[in-house]
Amino acid sequence: MLVARVSAEMFASTDLADVREWLIERQHSPVRLHADHLPAVGRHTRLTVARPVTARRAVLCTLWLIEDADGGDCLVAGTLRCVGHPTAADVRLSFEGLTVRAGRGHDAALQLLELIASSVAASDTHADPMSAAG
């Protein structure tokens, strides 16, 4: 099995408190994702979130993307780091970790960040793209 390091970073127009709440809400119940949520992975998966560690302008959390099958393998694992802008409602999301999908690992990490950012932004409107996952 080939394992590769992956990293991705993006900015999102959201509040750090909303990101923290989103992570806390999903901490005890893995989120089921369809293959079209993360095309780079191309499989049904579960996003598992560890308890976030918070600071005044940052949130740190471990994430696992596990194949949604009997005895599911861990496809991506790493650390989500969210840092809030000191004066604006922007958050820098970054992910660093390992994947067994070396060829498209960076794409998977970036798609995961985009999905989290859009899910956090939509959580107030109940139009969460992850809620359609099951």
Give the per-residue pLDDT at 134: 44
Q: What is the pLDDT of residue 88?
A: 81
Give 10-residue mean pLDDT values along the chain (134 residues): 87 92 90 89 90 95 88 89 89 93 78 93 66 46
For residue 80, the Cα-to-chain-centroid distance in whole angstroms is 7
In this predicted structure, what is the pLDDT of residue 101? Answer: 63
Please name the CATH architecture into which domain 4-124 falls.
2-Layer Sandwich (3.30)
Alpha carbons 32 and 38: distance in angstroms, whole number: 11
Would you kindly state where each structural domain of the chain is located, as residue ranges?
A: 4-124
Question: What are the tokens at 131?
Answer: 């809620």
For residue 126, how many other CB atoms are within 10 A of its CB?
Answer: 7
Helix (H) or strand (E) holding 119: helix 105-122
| pLDDT in the model for residue 16 | 92
pLDDT at 100: 79
What pLDDT shows up at residue 40? Answer: 86
Q: What is the pLDDT of residue 33?
A: 92
